[in-house]
Amino acid sequence: MPTTADFERMLREAALRVTRPRVAVLSAVHEHPHADTESIIGAVRETLPKVSHQAVYDVLKALTAAGLLRRIQPMGSLARYEARVGDNHHHLACRSCGAVADVDCAVGSAPCLTASDARGFTIDEAEVIYWGLCPGCSPGEPEAPDEAKGNQ
Ligand SMILES: [Zn+2]
Ligand SMILES: [Zn+2]
């Protein structure tokens, strides 16, 4: 887990001024990957109780624009943020509970950026979301048989 000093260095390297809300937001997103804005505000308020919604929105926007955070928005879901940037990884999304998980691309170092026909677009990002049900929502094998027994 990166420390406050690491977050400060990341901000400086991205030519952003180091402020407490920026450090707190970076830290919250590292701790809660794929969190939505409300969850991030909740986490930030554990260290900065008085921070406003608007301040957190603004910081998320600035950090995303600077490439320190990545914003994803699965269809029908709220925007979510993660600190794992630059590797163009993909996501698994559960249709039932909305859980989101990372999935590395199967092959290649710049996965999926080579479209079969780019139609003149300059491509800088490829987004793949695999939709389905997470283990907890799948009807198949029960996730925690011991717990089920305990409830009987
Ligand atoms: Zn689920
Ligand atoms: Zn991710």
Give strand pairing partners of 28. none
Q: State the total domains in the chain.
A: 2
Distance CA 48, CA 54 (A): 14
- Consult the annotation and say whether 134 binds a ligand: yes
- pLDDT-derived band at 152 (thresholds 50, 70, 90) equals very low
The ligand placed nearest to the CA atom of residue 105 is 2
Q: 7 alpha carbon to ligand 2 midpoint, in Å?
A: 19
pLDDT computed for residue 48 by the predictor: 96
Question: Is 82 contained in some domain?
Answer: no
Q: 102 alpha carbon to ligand 1 midpoint, in Å?
A: 14
Q: Cα separations (Å) of 57 from 32, 80, 130, 144, 151?
A: 16, 12, 27, 38, 42
Range of the domain at 121: 87-137
At 102-135, the pLDDT tens digits run 988 755 555 566 666 778 888 777 778 889 999 9
- Report the first-to-last Cα separation within the chain, whole angstroms: 40
pLDDT computed for residue 150 by the predictor: 42
Question: Is 29 contained in some domain?
Answer: yes
Distance CA 73, CA 111 (A): 19
**pTM for this prediction:** 0.78
Q: Are residues 67 and 8 in the same domain?
A: yes
Q: What is the mean pLDDT of residues 33-44?
A: 96
For residue 11, give the H/E element and its range.
Answer: helix 4-13
At 46-74, the pLDDT tens digits run 999 999 999 999 999 999 999 999 999 88
Asked whether the beta carbons of 131 and 95 are under 8 A apart, the reply is: yes
Token representation of residue 84: 């794992």
CB under 5 Å of ion ligand 1: residues: 94, 96-97, 99, 134, 137
pLDDT computed for residue 148 by the predictor: 45
